[in-house]
Amino acid sequence: MPGGRGSSAGRDPLPSEPETLAEREPRRYRKLWLFVVLLTAVVALAPLLILTHINYTEFERSLRESTRQEIRRRLESTRRSLGSFLGRHLDALRFVVLDRTEADLLDRARLRELHDRLNRAWGGFVDLGVIDAEGRLLEYFGPYGLRGKSYREQEWFPEVLKRGSYISDVFLGFRKLPHFVIAVRGENERGEFYVLRATIDAEILTRFVAPLGGRPGSDAFVVNRRGVLQTPSRDGAVLSRWRGELPSCEGESEIRLRRAPEGGRRFVGCARIPESPFFFTLVAEPTAGVKRYLDLRWKLLGLTVGSGILILILIMATSAYLVYRIREGDMRRTEILHKIQYTSKMASIGRLAAGVAHEINNPLAIINEKAGLLKDLVGLAEDFPRREKFLALLDSVLSSVDRCRRITHRLLGFAKRMQVRSDRIDLEALLREVLSFLEKEALYRSIRLEVKAEEDLPSIESDRGQLQQVFLNILNNALQAVSDGGRVEIDIARRGPDAVSVSIADDGCGISPSDLEHIFEPFYTTKTEYGTGLGLSITYGIVTRLGGRIDVESKVGDGTVFTVVLPVRVRPREEE
C-alpha cells in the first residue's frame, strides 16, 4: 500500500527490463505490427501489382492493335471497293472515247443509247455530256436542262484538258445538288479536243461508306484533300469542313490516334482512293467492337483489387497474431526474469542475513555466558551489596540477548528454509489476538477495526507464529495507509472444501498500478524515510512456504484489499 506496503514510488525501474518497455512503450508493438504488415504487403502485393500492370498494358497494346487491324481491314476493303467502282467508270469512259467518234457522241439518240448501256453495265451514271475545248456543252443527255452551259470556269475542266482524264471533288454546280464528275479528253478527226463528261450522284459514295459508320463509336465518310466532307458524317454535312485532324495519308492508308473535339482520343484511319481526290476516312473509339475485351479488363482489375484486399486482410490478421504471440513471449520472459531477479535478491539477502547473524551470534553467546556467570557469582555471594538490583540488571541483559537471538533467528529465514511447525489454529481467534497488539493505535486514531467470519469455519493446520507475523505485517500497512477515522475490515470465509481466505480491506489511499506490480519485491518501498521494503517480501515468502497464496486488489483513492488464501491442512513448499 502507499506509504508502507513494500513499494517505492521513488525507485525507477531498470531500463533493460522488457516488461517495463512493453508497458511504458506500447507503440513498440504497434510499430512492429505496422512494419511487418508493410514489409509483407510489399513482398506479397508488389509482384501481383507488377503482373497486373504488365497484363493491363499488354492488354491495352493488344486492344489498340486489334482496333488498328480492324480499322485497316475495313479501310482496305472500302478503298478497294471505291477504287474499283471509280476505276471501272473511268475506264468505261476512256473506252467510249476510243471506240466512238465525236460525231457519234454528238448524236443525241446514240448518246442516250450509250447512257443506257453504261448504266446497265456499271450503273451510277446520272447523265452524259460532250463539251468542246472552249467549255461549251455541245450535247447532253440527262434529267437536267444543261444544254448550252459553259464549263470553262469550272475547276475540273482545265484539269481534264491537262491530264486527259479526271475525277472531280463533290460540288453543287449548276444543278445545285451534290455530285461529282468523271471526265475524259478525246480528240476529233480535226485534231481538236473535246471532253466526254459523266455525272455521278454523290449518294453513290454515301452508300459505300454509310454501313461502316453505323457501328457504335464509329464514323465513316469521304473527304477531299482539303478536309471537305464528300459524304455526310456524324460531325458535319456534305461540303462542310470536318472538325477533326486527318492523318497525312501519304501512302495508301494510315492510322493515327488523334484527340477528339469533344475530348478523349480516338483512332482515325485514312485511305487514298486511286486516281481520285477522295480519301476514305474511318473513325473508331479504341474500345469499339471489342466489348468483350473491356469486360475482361474490368474483371482482371476487379480480381486484382479483390485479391489485394484479401491478401492485405490476411497479412494484417496474421501479423497481429504473430505480434501478439511475440508480446506474450516477452511477457513470459519478463515474468521468468522477474522471478529469477526476485530469487537472486532473496539469495543475496539470505547470504547477508547469514553473515550478519553469524557475526552477531558469537558476541551474543559470549555476553550470554558472561552474564550468566555473573548471575551465578552474585547468587553465591550472600553479602554482595545491592544484590537484588544487580540481579535485575543481569536478567535484563539476558532478556535482551534472548531477544537478539530471536531476531537473528528470523534473519536466518532468508538464508535457509525454516521448519514449519504445524498447530491447530482458529483463524478468527488468531486475528483477534493480532488485533489486540494494534488496538491502542486504532483507538488513538479513531480507526474502526471489524472482523467478520462465516459460521462453521474449520480450524486449519499451520504455523501459528508465522501466521501472526503475516497478519501483523498486513494490518500494520493497513493502519499506515488509512487516515484518522478510517476503517479496516477483516473477512474470513471458506474457499472451497480445502481452503480458507482472509481478506483485509482498508479505505486508505490505495496503491498505484506502477507500484502494485513491485510490492512483493525486497527493498521496494514508498516509505522513503523509515521503510525497509522487507515487510511484504517476508509476508509473501511465509505464505508461499505455508502452501497458500496472497492476492492484492487496489485502486488509488478507494483503498486496498489483501486476500490471503491458506490450505486447511498445511502443505509446505520450497520458496520460489
Q: What φ, ψ does residue 362 adopt, rounded to 5°? A: -60, -55
- pLDDT score, position 525: 63
Look at 344 and 529; give whichever has higher pLDDT: 344
What is the pLDDT confidence band of residue 292, given thresholds at 50, 70 and 90? low
Domain boundaries of the chain, sorted by first residue: 100-201, 292-414, 423-567
- pLDDT score, position 527: 60
Average pLDDT over residues 134-149: 88
- For 292-414, CATH number out of 3.20.20.80, 3.40.50.880, 3.20.20.70, 1.10.287.130 equals 1.10.287.130
What is the pLDDT confidence band of residue 194, given thresholds at 50, 70 and 90? very high
- pLDDT score, position 412: 62
- The SS3 of residue 495 is coil
For 554, the grid coordinates are 487496489
Fold agreement (100-201, 292-414): no
* Residue 88 CB contacts under 8 Å (≥ 6 apart), including other chains: 122
- The SS3 of residue 521 is coil
What is the pLDDT confidence band of residue 95, given thresholds at 50, 70 and 90? very high
Look at 450 and 517; give whichever has higher pLDDT: 450
| Angstrom distance (rounded) from CA 368 to CA 358 | 15
Domain 423-567 has CATH 2.30.250.10: no
Average pLDDT over residues 397-412: 74
Q: Give the bridge partners for 560, in sequence order.
A: 506, 554
- pLDDT score, position 4: 41
Place of cell 491530264: 163
pLDDT at 17 over 60: no
List the Cα angle 470/472/475 in 5-degree steps: 110
Per-residue HEC secondary structure of 365-397 comes to HHHHHHHHHHHHHHHHCCCCCCHHHHHHHHHHH
- For 100-201, CATH number out of 3.40.50.620, 3.30.450.20, 1.20.120.1200, 3.20.20.120 equals 3.30.450.20
For 514, the grid coordinates are 506502477
